[in-house]
Structure 1
Amino acid sequence: MLSAKSLFQEILDNDESFRLFCSIAAAGESQGGWENARIAALVPEESRALVPKIVRHGADEDKHGRIFNALLRKRGLRPVGVPRETDYTMLLERRGIGLAHQRLSREERLSERDVITYLAHSRVTEQRASEQMRLLSRHFADHPELGRAVRMISNDEDNHLAYCHEELLRLAEAGHGRTIQRVLRACALAEIRVYRDVGLAVMSRMGGILGWSRARSAALAAGIHAVYAYERLGGWRRMVSLEPPARRDALGGPAVPSPEYA
């Protein structure tokens, strides 16, 4: 029977599929760490109060990248190159979502609109990350190899999502509500398409490694398309709503160290 748990267990049990999974995850998290570090260095004067939180966000992303690489090392595996069609972050950038790497590479201050773009992009993508890590945590929180990593990353992603809600609500109260909703909607509609495309690409790669039958691959692809249909019809709205988070000032302190993975 196909289920999220059985599917991931199959990926986990095979060194090559696990290697690809962790490599994709580590590359994406490390990329997020670089982006947040550049944003922290370039925020405009009126947004300087955000800098410690952006730095903390980036430090968490770097930590997650180290965790995935440490999981590979524990098995004696080395990372592999990330196939272009599975690069979630860069595919979003190509759709004009978030702040482009070319923009972040320049020594030029961001605008307040850029900060809104960053936070809206993060609110959408952290929603996805939080949901994915909660799913893994539900099934693998007690796993001897993955459990601690899954619990730690899941908690961090929930903190990141709470931070985005809180800061976007603050900006909405300052008069940017319509801009925020417009940017959030564009981000969400682009993200669900990229998530579908990356999901199909990753499953195709996994199927080749694990020797899935055409019928099984077709069933998994149909499931990915069904999720996209649901999200396109209205599921995307969960990514654009804003409400005061239960976790207040979630990124207000220093990053939690992870010496066991560093």
Structure 2
Amino acid sequence: MLSAKSLFQEILDNDESFRLFCSIAAGGETQGGWENGRIAALVPPGLRELAPKVARHGADEDKHGRIFNALLKQRGLQPVTVPYETDYTLLLERHGIGLAHDRLSREEPLTERDVIVYLAHSRVTEQRASEQMRLLLKHFAEHPVLGRAVKMISRDEDNHLAYCHEELLRFARAGHGRTIQSVLRECAQAEIRVYRDVSLAVMSHMGAVLGWPRAKSAVLVAGIHAMHAYERLVGWRRMVTLEQPTLRDALGGPAVPENEYA
């Protein structure tokens, strides 16, 4: 029966599809690490207390990239070049979501609005990351190879999401509520389009590698479009709500090193 678990198991069991999966994941995490590192360096003077948390966020993302590369190394595999159309992080930036890379490359302090845009963008994308990792956790928490990596990354993504909620609520209490909601809605609507396009591209590449029959690919494509329709009509709302997280100050300490995972 076609299911999330059976699909991922099929990807996991094939070296070439596993290479592609880990390469895409590692590339996105590494890019996120760079972005957060630059944001931490450019946080304006009035918000410097936020810089260590942003830096911790970036350190976690870098760690995740190393974990995915370590999973490849364990199987004697090398990363592959990530196809442009599967690069979620790059495509979000190209769609104007978050802070542009040319802005982050300049040695110019961010504005308060820039920081709000960063947090809103992260709140949306970390929702997606948290959900994806919880799905993997559900099916592969006890897997002998993936289990510990999935547990560590899932915990980190939940922490990142909690941090975004808490910091955005702090800005909302300071009078930025309308700006936050506007940016969140814009980010969410763009993210669900990019996620659909990336999902279609990834499934196309995986289907080619694994030799999926046309009927199977058609079912998966229909499922992706159905999910997009749901998210466009209703599901996007889960990405724009703000709630005080149970875990407070989730990024207040140092990153957990990946050698705990190994």
Could you say which TM-score interval applies, normalised by the shorter chain? over 0.9
* 1:225 alignment partner in structure 2: 225
CA distance in 1, matches of 2:195, 2:144: 29
What amino acid sits opposite 2:164 in the alignment?
A: C
Preserved CA contact (<8 Å) 1:160 1:250: yes
* Separation (CA, whole Å) in 2 of partners of 1:18 and 1:197: 20
Superposition pairs of residues 159-238 of structure 1, within 5 angstroms: 159-238=159-238
For the 8 Å contact 2:152–2:261, the answer to whether it is kept is no
* 1:95 CA displacement: 1.1
- Is the 8 Å Cα contact of residues 22 and 72 (structure 1) preserved in structure 2? yes
Deviation at 1:111, TM superposition (A): 0.2
**How far apart, in 2, do the equivalents of 1:2 and 1:201 lie?**
19
CA RMSD of superposed structures (Å)? 0.8
SS at match of 1:197: helix
- What is the CA–CA distance in structure 1 between the aligned matches of 2:223 and 2:102, rounded to whole Å? 35
Q: CA deviation at 1:84?
A: 0.2
Distance of 2:47 and 2:218 partners within structure 1: 48
Q: Which runs of 5+ in 1 are unaligned?
A: none
- 1:66–1:261 Cα contact (<8 Å) kept: no
Q: Is the 8 A contact 2:159 2:251 kept in 1?
A: yes
Question: How many positions carry a matched residue from both structures?
Answer: 262
Deviation string 1:110-129 (CA, Å, 9 cap, x unpaired) is: 00000000000000000000
CA distance in 1, matches of 2:86, 2:242: 29
- TM-score where L is the length of structure 1: 0.99
Asked if residue 117 in structure 1 is aligned to residue 121 in structure 2, the reply is no
CA contact (8 A) 1:70 1:261 kept: no
C-alpha distance in 2, partners of 1:135/1:24?
18
Runs of 4+, deviation exceeding 2 Å: none
Structure 1 position 132 matched with structure 2 position 132: yes
Within a 5 Å distance, the mapping from 1:29-108 to structure 2 comes to 29-108=29-108
SS class of match (1:259) = helix
Structure 1 range deviating more: 163-172 or 251-260: 251-260
Question: Displacement, 1:261?
Answer: 5.8
8 Å contact from structure 1 (residues 163, 249) kept in 2: yes
Deviation at 1:257, TM superposition (A): 1.1
Tell me the TM-score normalised to structure 2 length: 0.99
Give the AA of the match of 1:140: F
Q: Offset at 1:224?
A: 0.3
Q: CA deviation at 1:90?
A: 1.0
